[in-house]
Structure 1
């Protein structure tokens, strides 16, 4: 049971504290992809720790899976057994029921939201294809208002109007590079994952704040990718020119989320940090996420050991 309690403690620590320490990574001195990876790995840690701890609590004490650090079950039962009722077992199975119920809720919400998202995306893209002209990954619409956004899914689609084509070449290329960065980074899937976590586990601070944070970070990451290729000036100009009018909520629009904050990041004219492979950001974020998780498990193991020694003594 000790490992289960450690994983549960890790979920609580990361779920409560992560929004605070992840804020440190949101700075122009670091690539926004690193902060984005930190949020996603922290969400993944919480989402995985809940079912794993629930399963370990539900398994019989003599299953052996938690045998190396499972002394908590025996120690607590020895101390709390009254009238042939092991209250630690009652608490263990009750906790397992709660955690597995949360896991089931997460799965149901995830399936329903994913299906709805895919259906809306297919219907939206099918409608636009009947109205516009496809050129590679870009679907051009006959509208003089400069509008640009991207729709995720297999292959992905960039939707832009003729108003974008009339922009200066640098601005137009910056807009398309921004939207292409969303598709290459699978940012739509990351935003959907954050929305699912918030809907399923709204009482967890990390999950509750994830949608807003992830939406800002994917835009900063796409801005950085466009600025590395075309310079920050055209990206700033495009942000001020392109509109997010009539863009669907399931899409990522060039000029809808956190525009003022993004302009501040680009206003000094400095190029973002040199691009490293995306896997480098996720590897660093995974290592950082492991620290609070490992400390939580180790702390619970130490406390259980001290408790057992006190009971035996």
Structure 2
């Protein structure tokens, strides 16, 4: 039970405090991709800690599968057995039932939302293909107003109007690079995953705030990718020139979310970790995200050990 308690402590710590300490990464001095990794990794840790803790709590304390996991169970039961009832076991199984019920709820929400998203995406792309002409990964729509967005999936596509061709070449290429960055980074899947977690676990602050934060961060990350290839100035100009009024909510559009914040970010973005390879930076961010979980588990194990020694001696 010790490891399960540690995982619960980690889920509580990250779920309630991460929105505050993740703000440190939301600065132009840090790559947007690192902040995005921090948010998504934190959500993943919470989403995995709850079901794993539930399964561990459901394992009988004398199963021999856990060692340290069962130490708290046997220790507390030795002290709290009253009238033949092992109250630690009652609490353990009750907590396991709650956690597994939350896991079942999350799975149901995920299945429903993923199926709905796939159906909407498939129908939307099918309709567009019947009305447009494809040039590589881009579906070109008739229209004089410059507009562009991307639709994720196994074979994601970029949708743009012919009005986009009227922009200067540097701005047009920056817009397309922005949308390609969304597809390459699987940003649509990240946003959908956060929407699922928020709907299933809205009482956890991290999960509740993740969709809004991640929607902004994926746009910042795509802006940064476009700026690296085409310069920040064309990206800023494109943000002001491209509209997102008719884009579907399931898509990621160039000029829909937090435009003023993104313009400010592009103006002041001077990452200090420019020499650190992007993949290495993401690995560092994911590792740092796991630190609160490791600290929580180690702290709980230490406290249980001290408690058992104290009551037995």
Residue 292 of structure 1 is matched in structure 2 by 292
**TM norm structure 2:** 0.97
For 2:240 and 2:71, locate their aligned partners in 1 and report how far apart those are by CA, in whole Å.
61
Could you tell me how far 1:75 is from its partner in structure 2? 1.4
Q: How does 1:210-221 map to 2 (within 5 A)?
A: 210-221=210-221
For 2:296 and 2:137, locate their aligned partners in 1 and report how far apart those are by CA, in whole Å.
46
CA shift digits 1:131-174 (9 cap, x unpaired): 11100000000100111000000121000001101100011000
Structure 1 residue 34 and structure 2 residue 37: aligned?
no
Unaligned runs of 5+ in 2: none
Q: Is the 8 A contact 1:242 1:254 kept in 2?
A: yes
CA shift digits 1:72-96 (9 cap, x unpaired): 1111111111111111100000000
Could you tell me how far 1:273 is from its partner in structure 2? 6.2
For 1:118 and 1:281, locate their aligned partners in 2 and report how far apart those are by CA, in whole Å.
31
Q: How does 1:108-119 map to 2 (within 5 A)?
A: 108-119=108-119
Structure 1 residue 282 and structure 2 residue 296: aligned?
no
Residue 140 of structure 1 is matched in structure 2 by 140
**TM norm structure 1:** 0.97
For 1:160 and 1:64, locate their aligned partners in 2 and report how far apart those are by CA, in whole Å.
60
Q: Is the 8 A contact 1:227 1:272 kept in 2?
A: no
For 2:27 and 2:34, locate their aligned partners in 1 and report how far apart those are by CA, in whole Å.
10
Structure 1 residue 80 and structure 2 residue 80: aligned?
yes
Structure 1 residue 12 and structure 2 residue 12: aligned?
yes
Q: How does 1:97-116 map to 2 (within 5 A)?
A: 97-116=97-116
For 2:269 and 2:104, locate their aligned partners in 1 and report how far apart those are by CA, in whole Å.
48
The 4+ residue runs of structure 1 with deviation greater than 2 A are 267-282
Distance 1:291 1:68, change over 3 A: same
Distance 1:224 1:72, change over 3 A: same
Residue 120 of structure 2 is matched in structure 1 by 120
Distance 1:106 1:127, change over 3 A: same
Distance 1:23 1:60, change over 3 A: same
For 1:289 and 1:57, locate their aligned partners in 2 and report how far apart those are by CA, in whole Å.
24
Residue 2 of structure 1 is matched in structure 2 by 2
Could you tell me how far 1:193 is from its partner in structure 2? 0.6
Residue 129 of structure 2 is matched in structure 1 by 129
Aligned-residue CA RMSD (Å): 1.5
Distance 1:97 1:270, change over 3 A: closer
Could you tell me how far 1:278 is from its partner in structure 2? 4.8
CA shift digits 1:19-45 (9 cap, x unpaired): 111110111111100000011111111
Which deviates the most, 264-273 or 23-32?
A: 264-273
Q: Secondary structure at the match of 1:70?
A: helix
Q: Is the 8 A contact 2:147 2:163 kept in 1?
A: yes
Q: How does 1:258-273 map to 2 (within 5 A)?
A: 258-268=258-268
Which deviates the most, 56-65 or 143-152?
A: 56-65
Could you tell me how far 1:206 is from its partner in structure 2? 0.5
Residue 311 of structure 1 is matched in structure 2 by 311
Distance 1:250 1:144, change over 3 A: same
Q: Secondary structure at the match of 2:82?
A: coil
Q: Is the 8 A contact 1:3 1:297 kept in 2?
A: yes
Distance 1:271 1:204, change over 3 A: closer
Which deviates the most, 254-263 or 15-24?
A: 15-24
CA shift digits 1:221-273 (9 cap, x unpaired): 00000001110100000000100011000000000000000000112486896
Unaligned runs of 5+ in 1: none
Q: Secondary structure at the match of 1:267?
A: helix
Tell me the matched-pair count: 313
Which deviates the most, 275-284 or 13-22?
A: 275-284
Q: Is the 8 A contact 2:29 2:269 kept in 1?
A: no
For 1:41 and 1:266, locate their aligned partners in 2 and report how far apart those are by CA, in whole Å.
25
Residue 198 of structure 2 is matched in structure 1 by 198
Distance 1:164 1:276, change over 3 A: farther
